[in-house]
Amino acid sequence: MRIRAFPMTMDERYVENIWSLLKNAIQEIQKKNNSGLSFEELYRNAYTMVLHKHGERLYNGLREVVTHHLESKVRQDVLASLNNNFLQILNQAWNDHQTSMVMIRDILMYMDRVYVQQNNVDNVYNLGLIIFRDQVVRYGGIRDHLRHILLEMVVRERKGEVADKLSVRAACQMLMVLGIDSRAVYEEDFERPFLSQSAEFYRSESQRFLGENSASVYIKKVEARINEESERAKHYLDESTEQRIVAVVEEELIQKHMKTIVEMENSGVVHMLKCQKTDDLHCMYKLLGRVADGLRTMASCVSAHLREEGKALVNVDESGANALNFVQSLLDLKDRYDTFLGKSFVNDPIFKKMISSDFEYFLNLNLKSPEYLSLFIDDKLKKGVKGMTEQDIELVLDKTMVLFRFLQEKDIFERYYKQHLAKRLLLNKSVSDDSEKNMISKLKTECGCQFTSKLEGMFKDMSISNMLMEDFKNHIQTSGTSLYGVDLSVRVLTTGFWPTQSSATCTLPLAPRNAFEVFRRFYLAKHSGRQLTLQPALGSADLSAIFYGPRREESETKEKADGPSSSTPTSASANGPRKHIISVSTYQMCILMLFNTRDRLTYEDIMNETDVPKKDLDRALQSLAMGKPTQRVLVKSPKGKDILPSSIFAVNDSFTSKLHRVKIQTVAAKGESEPERKETRSKVDEDRKHEIEAAIVRIMKARKTMQHNLLVSEVTEQLKSRFLPSPVIIKKRIEGLIEREYLARTPEDRKVYTYVA
Amino acid sequence: MDLGEDVSSLFGKRSKTSSNSTVNRSRTKGAEEAPTIFNQKKCIAWFRQYSTPSSPDTIGPEGVEMFCRDLNVEPENIALLVLSWKMGAKQMGYFTLQEWLLGLTDLQCDSLAKLQAKLNYLHSLLLDSSHFKSIYRYAFDFSRDKDQRSLDIETAKAMLGLLLGRQWSLLNSFFQFLDQSRYRVLNKDQWCNVLEFSRAVDVDLKNYDVDGAWPVMLDEFVEWLKVNRGESNIQ
């Protein structure tokens, strides 16, 4: 007896029957005749087949049926419509196919779940897709035609003609679905040719656009096209294409031609900069920002132009140079580019950095920049600045600080600033202590205390001197000491704080000399260990003067001019003696007082008797004798603009002025003369030597040993806020320190230094 | 008149050889031919042949000259430099008694003959590179003027010629460079680095390291040499 298992196998006939049933049903579905079918029955039959291990048969059968239908019916229909509503027919076929496949899948769901899973084959729906794809969509003629039609639609659209967007969209979606889990079908059958056709299209578009020869027009057109393609992709191709097609447009229209656009004559970046076209620049910025290196291309063009503009401003020749204009023009330039930075370049750090480095570059091309900057600030801190409120000045000074930051030789600036500050303080020209102190605190923020401590010392000296004068006045009153008729005012400067002057002395007239002696005794009694040296170059004097001659324009009769000791009543009549107070420098006082005892003096006489250094003497005499008529207190003969040793000077008795108090302006050179500048420079170089050595010693003391290159770069780093030392100079200083036995080379490695305690 | 004890009491400490001398006194007296043990008294007496009564503990330039003649050696002979180095002599042209004793004791020479025999040995010291370096460095301090920190250029050239003349092919070029430069002295660092340079840098200058922390003078020398050889564009 044989026990058999439950008959799981069916006989062949039975299977055949089931299959026929199903096959028929499938075909009806495909013919859209599904209404008469029973879902339940069909499902059950399929279930049975699969259960009895006939899944494979069912699967293969399915494949056959579907293939046959698509091949012989659907494909033919589509082919027939190639020139007649192709897309619509195709789409219709597709929709029908999807619908029937859904139904077929539902019937065969058990097979999907069991057989398909177990055998790792495509599920029913996907099988349908594959067959549709291979038998219909990718069938030779259909495939080509589909591609052709779709591309043609795009071409038409680009020309601005109407196209059947919905059909195109449906077709694209179909292709996407046919890729099953990838977009490969869409990509191969449509997108790739689409992109390559688009590339060609835009290649010639670019030529067309360029032909218009206007960068701003080009940019606008590109933007328009990008938007268009974006929209197209979003709305009726597949969304995923958007990024790709935009990339193509960017490549063809922007990337390949960005240099041309940027550098286009009369419309490119340079033109936009020159004509302040901030909006156009912004459009270009946005556009070029789309491609790699686009912004860099633009930035380097802007940079080149800025450097040119900067260089032109900075390379003013000697004679035309005016510190105020120099600095003002640079401030204006900075303002312009800051506007561009803000409005056109949205504060992009690339551009910000580039502008800064450009300014640093050309500002330092002119070696007098530090001096000019200081003169500019000096001008704004002096009394009599016209047309600017306090806030205006504050603003300008802040902007000037921005330029200051770009200076490489800040130590030179410091030197000039001290000089100019000294003049302002001593000649009482500052607008206010507050604005001075404000400026100093700005500098302190930038440069640290070392820079400003001496400046603050200068202020202290001024206030101490004021107190000193109070004491002195009291002292004079209480002790009844004579000051020889001189109303004396002394300012005592601490040597270390103030800029060093060549302490040239001159021969003071008797009265002031004696008066000063009184003060000197007074001061040294208070501070016995100190030494006082008179600095005639910085002093000033008010002289009371009487002119006896007739007014100007009348004939001259020379008479003695009286000094301060005699007093003759003033008469208001035109021919009477005229009293004035003349404000002069100390040197000028020495000169003028000579004429109390002499009518006329030669240049040589004056030089011998006053001992004023030649340069200053010339300047003083020029101001007194060769300035404006309202300033000409002396006359020189022979007339002419040269001062010779034989020139003769005398009081200008016809001197007249509407003002009672006449200030003699010094024929001042704004800024230094060449030899003065050389002297300043050599002083700066001396200072730098010390600063470098101090830095070296400081670093070596901390580190004990250090390799040569490291030491050089550390030193440079430490000093860069003041100036930029070259490696050769640093090396020389190191050698100097070796010689003086502060450092030594290590015996093992001559490139390594060690600190000698 | 026991000179040995006078001198040693001056120094305030007994030298190693003092015990020897007591032994010596009993044995040899005035013998010069046979290889005798070093006699300090003899050495000192030999010293006194060259010093003057007015400065008995120093041999001056004339004494040195005489010494050289006796030794049959020119004063420019490098052996003399080596000898001075052995002595630790501070100043070229002068030997103090202390220096004399130090050097000659080390060499175990108390007579001309013995020293002459040692001349080859002195020369051989130059062949050892670390001795040579030591002698070279010593030469700087030895030949400079004691109130100057640096060595004047003419003396420097002479010493360099003596020391490096045979072994550095660029020496003459270096001299030419110095002549046309503004350098009037050489400092110690520069001096020492010239030796390093001669040892480290090839004649074709190809391995000259610009970042090698060479003194600026040598950077300039290399630059000058390159220009002169037509290898550089810098004018």
A44-75 pLDDT tens trace: 988 988 888 888 888 998 999 999 999 998 88
Residue of B nearest to A727 (CA): B211
B189–A738: do the CB atoms touch at under 8 Å? yes
* Among the listed residues A490, A430, A418, A404, the one whose alpha carbon sits nearest the alpha carbon of residue A455: A418
> Which residues of chain B lie closer than 8 angstroms to A745, CB-CB?
189, 192, 213
Domain ranges of chain B: 40-127, 133-229
Note whether A745 contacts B: Cβ–Cβ < 8 A.
Answer: yes
CA A601 to CA A325: how far, in whole Å? 41
A697 has pLDDT over 90: yes
A739–B213: do the CB atoms touch at under 8 Å? no
**Which range (A102-111, A202-211, A381-390) has the least confidence?**
A381-390
Give strand pairing partners of A406.
none
Position A574 scores a pLDDT of: 53
User: Average pLDDT of each block of 10 consecutive residues along chain B (235 residues)?
Assistant: 40 40 44 68 88 88 89 85 90 89 89 87 88 92 88 92 90 93 91 92 88 90 90 58
A750–B187: do the CB atoms touch at under 8 Å? no
Q: How many CB atoms lie within 10 A of CB A540?
A: 17
Mutate to test the interface with A, among B149, B189, B193 (most CBs of A within 10 A): B189
B215–A708: do the CB atoms touch at under 8 Å? no
Q: Using the 8-state DSSP alphabet, how is residue A320 labeled?
A: G
User: pLDDT tens, A25-44?
Assistant: 899 888 888 888 888 988 99
CA B222 to CA B216: how far, in whole Å? 10
Position A6 scores a pLDDT of: 56
Choose the closest CB to B189 out of A709, A728, A735: A735
Domains B40-127 and B133-229 agree in fold: yes
Residue of B nearest to A728 (CA): B216
| B130–chain A nearest CA distance, Å | 12
> Which residues of chain A lie closer than 8 angstroms to B212, CB-CB?
708, 751
A452 has pLDDT over 60: yes
A739–B219: do the CB atoms touch at under 8 Å? no
CB-defined contacts A:B, below 8 A: 33
* Residue A738, CA distances (Å) to A705, A743, A746, A753, B134 in order: 13, 5, 11, 9, 19
Q: What sign does the dihedral A482-A484-A485-A487 (CA atoms) show?
A: negative
Q: Which residue has the higher pLDDT, B177 or A423?
A: B177
Over A644-711, what HEC string results? CCCCEEEECCCCCCCCCEEECCCCCCCCCCHHHHHHHHHHHHHHHHHHHHHHHHHHHHHHCEEEHHHH
Report yes or no: A359 and A403 within 8 Å, Cβ to Cβ. Answer: yes
CATH of region B133-229: 1.10.238.200
Copy the structure tokens of residue A496.
Answer: 């270390």
Helix, strand, or coil (residue A122):
coil
Structural domains of chain A, with CATH: 12-136 (1.20.1310.10), 143-254 (1.20.1310.10), 462-538 (no CATH), 540-549+577-663 (3.30.230.130), 678-755 (1.10.10.10)
Q: Using the 8-state DSSP alphabet, how is residue A3 labeled?
A: P
Copy the structure tokens of residue A428.
Answer: 């009482």
Position A503 scores a pLDDT of: 65
CA B114 to CA B107: how far, in whole Å? 9
What superfamily would CATH give domain B40-127? Answer: EF-hand (1.10.238.10)
Position A546 scores a pLDDT of: 87
| B212–chain A nearest CA distance, Å | 6
> Which residues of chain A lie closer than 8 angstroms to B192, CB-CB?
745
Residue of B nearest to A740 (CA): B149
CA A334 to chain centre: 9
Mutate to test the interface with A, among B130, B198, B201, B211 (most CBs of A within 10 A): B211
CA A140 to CA B136: how far, in whole Å? 94
Chain B residues with CB within 8 Å of chain A CB: 149-150, 187-190, 192-193, 196, 211-213, 215-216, 219
CA B216 to CA B200: how far, in whole Å? 17
- By CB atoms closer than 10 A (0-12, 13-18, 19+), residue A567 is exposed
Report yes or no: A89 and A77 within 8 Å, Cβ to Cβ. Answer: yes
Query: Residue A195 — pLDDT band, cuts 50, 70, 90?
Result: very high
User: pLDDT tens, A653-663?
Assistant: 888 888 888 88
Mutate to test the interface with B, among A739, A743, A752 (most CBs of B within 10 A): A739
The arithmetic mean of pLDDT across residues A400-417, rounded, is: 91
> Which residues of chain B lie closer than 8 angstroms to A750, CB-CB?
193, 196, 213
Note whether A735 contacts B: Cβ–Cβ < 8 A.
Answer: yes
User: pLDDT tens, A127-156?
Assistant: 999 999 998 888 888 889 999 989 998 898
pTM above 0.90, yes or no: no
CA A568 to CA A547: how far, in whole Å? 11
B215–A739: do the CB atoms touch at under 8 Å? no
The arithmetic mean of pLDDT across residues A426-438, rounded, is: 84
Residue A19 CB partners (closer than 8 Å, separation 6+):
A49, A54, A57, A58, A61
| B149–chain A nearest CA distance, Å | 8
In 3-state terms chain B splits into helix, strand, coil percentages (rounded to 5) of: 60, 5, 40
Give strand pairing partners of A601.
A649
B213–A750: do the CB atoms touch at under 8 Å? yes
Choose the closest CB to B216 out of A709, A731, A750: A731
Position A502 scores a pLDDT of: 67
Residue of A nearest to B214 (CA): A751
Which strands sit side by side in the sheet containing A540-547, from one edge to the other?
A: A540-547, A578-585, A661-663
Position A470 scores a pLDDT of: 92
User: Helix H segments across A550-669?
Assistant: 586-594, 603-610, 614-625
Copy the structure tokens of residue A158.
Answer: 């680009």
A688 has pLDDT over 90: yes
Position A575 scores a pLDDT of: 61
What mean pLDDT value characterizes chain A? 86
Note whether A720 contacts B: Cβ–Cβ < 8 A.
Answer: no
Copy the structure tokens of residue A111.
Answer: 């097979």
Position A565 scores a pLDDT of: 34
* Among the listed residues A61, A60, A68, the one whose alpha carbon sits nearest the alpha carbon of residue A21: A61
Query: Which of A235-239, A400-404, B163-167 tops mean pLDDT?
Result: A400-404
Q: Tokens 């070296």: give the residue.
A: A696
Distance from the first to the final alpha carbon of chain B: 72
Give strand pairing partners of A542.
A583
- Residue A518 identity: V
Report yes or no: B79 and B123 within 8 Å, Cβ to Cβ. Answer: yes
| B195–chain A nearest CA distance, Å | 12
Phi then psi for A730, rounded to 5 degrees?
Answer: -65, -40
* Among the listed residues A68, A71, A74, A78, the one whose alpha carbon sits nearest the alpha carbon of residue A141: A78
A162 has pLDDT over 60: yes
Position A554 scores a pLDDT of: 39
A350 has pLDDT over 60: yes
| B105–chain A nearest CA distance, Å | 29
The arithmetic mean of pLDDT across residues A369-392, rounded, is: 85
B213–A735: do the CB atoms touch at under 8 Å? no
B216–A732: do the CB atoms touch at under 8 Å? yes
- By CB atoms closer than 10 A (0-12, 13-18, 19+), residue B135 is buried
Query: Max Cα separation, chain B?
Result: 77
**Which range (A303-317, A336-350, A472-486, A572-586) has the least confidence?**
A572-586
Copy the structure tokens of residue A660.
Answer: 């009672």
**Which range (A146-150, A159-163, A167-171) has the least confidence?**
A159-163
Copy the structure tokens of residue A152.
Answer: 């043609």
Residue of A nearest to B219 (CA): A728
Q: How many CB atoms lie within 10 A of CB A726?
A: 10
Choose the closest CB to B149 out of A708, A739, A750: A739
| A751–chain B nearest CA distance, Å | 5
